[in-house]
Amino acid sequence: MQSPLTQRFLRYAHIDTRSDPASPSCPSTAGQRILAQELATELTTLGLAEVTLDENGYLTARLPASPGCSAPAIGWIAHLDTSPDFAAQPLKPQFVPAWKGKDIALGDSGERISLKAFPALRSCRGHDLITTDGRTLLGADDKAGIAEIVTAVETLLASPDIIHGEIYLAFTPDEEIGRGADLFPLARFPARWAYTVDGGEMGELEYENFNAASACIKIQGNNVHPGTAYGTLVNALTLASVFHSGMPQHETPEQTQGLEGFFHLHHMAGDVEAAELHYLIRDFVDEGFARRKAYLAERVAAFNRELDQPRLVLTVSDSYFNMRRKITPHPHIIDIACAAMQGAGIKPKIKPIRGGTDGSRLSFMGLPCPNLFTGGFNFHGKHECVSIQAMHKAVEVLVAIARHTAQLQ
């Protein structure tokens, strides 16, 4: 029989909330608002205060403090959207009880999950897993986080003996396309600090992420009839390929790990007349981040000097920064999360995020915000899965965070 947590997660997962980077609206898709409205009803029914769903799709609510508790207000945050990178419907979840570590056939799709391909799953041997049929993503990123937060709130409401301070909840749109913090309603969220529940493997605790920038190189060619092209035609696609072939080949996502940064060519387009190269620039260290941006600018300038005229134009835009500098001055935020995990029998796995979260930008907006595990794996694709045991542990950790924070009053 499915637990209420599992039922809640699957109910959310069946709503298609993929975000859309091509849409200028907020939220970018109607499905996110549908889920937010369902959550608003659920939180109101549970008895939370100040349940507010605004015109931009941000849902906030407040769990009042236990009588007499004056502990600092904290926050729990998860995102409504799922990745636009893969199909989400029709979702056909399948259950794998007490997984033995052997390959998992994903329905009749021909796809499989194995320890060889996904060694991080080793920690889930013996767990009950939820997967897809291999034709959609699962949506554990981040509907597992949403379900865990709501279940933790439900647990606190049903357990008046657990003393806690005020807890603010926020469910945000469009995190997967980098807009989750754009219109975050800080005025409705007066927490001293918060935790995003948007991580993976059980025990993950993250408070360091990439510095990130986007770079676009526009290349102007000169298209003439190829039969009379000698000495005149300038092929923008050829210039693009030559430029990229000169980039550091060992500083790409597939060649780096841990705290190593990279350049990532994630999109290229064009024709003979004009082409574009779009790079992601990532580095954990401020100095390295600056060096990477300067390196790209110098390469473009040098490349232009070799041409008949400057044909490359570079634009660089910062995206987000390493939240470590905003969180380490407040070590108690991490200490509380570690103590909560240890009390739940979990060894904290403090690791850098090779990406970004809403918590990164929120930390720079004055809300220190590390990231907690959800129990999910292999996000953004058909091999996504989640451990039911880890989901229950995530609830236990959230409740323990509330209890430990109450001791600060």
SS (H, E, C) the chain: CCCHHHHHHHHHHCCCCECCCCCCCCCCCHHHHHHHHHHHHHHHHHCCEEEEECCCCCEEEEECCCCCCCCCCEEEEEECCECCCCCCCCCCCEEECCCCCCCEEECCCCEEECCCCCHHHHHHCCCCEEECCCCCCCCHHHHHHHHHHHHHHHHHHCCCCCCCCCEEEEEECCHHHCCCCCCCCHHHCCCCEEEEECCCCCCEEECCECEEEEEEEEEECECCCHHHCCCCCECHHHHHHHHHHCCCCCCCHHHCCCCCCEEEEEEEEECCCEEEEEEEEEECCHHHHHHHHHHHHHHHHHHHHCCCCCCEEEEEEEEECCCHHHHCCCHHHHHHHHHHHHHCCCCCEECCECCCCHHHHHHHCCCCCCEECCCEECCCCCCCEEEHHHHHHHHHHHHHHHHHHHCCC
Known catalytic membership, residue 55: no
Catalytic residue among 20, 148, 174, 175: 175
Among this protein's residues, is 142 annotated catalytic?
Answer: no
Question: Catalytic one among 16, 20, 42, 81?
Answer: 81
How far is 87 from 375, CA to CA, in rounded Å? Answer: 21
For residue 184, what are the contacts with CB-CB under 8 A and spacing of at least 6? 58, 170, 172, 358, 362, 365
**Residues taking part in catalysis:** 81, 175
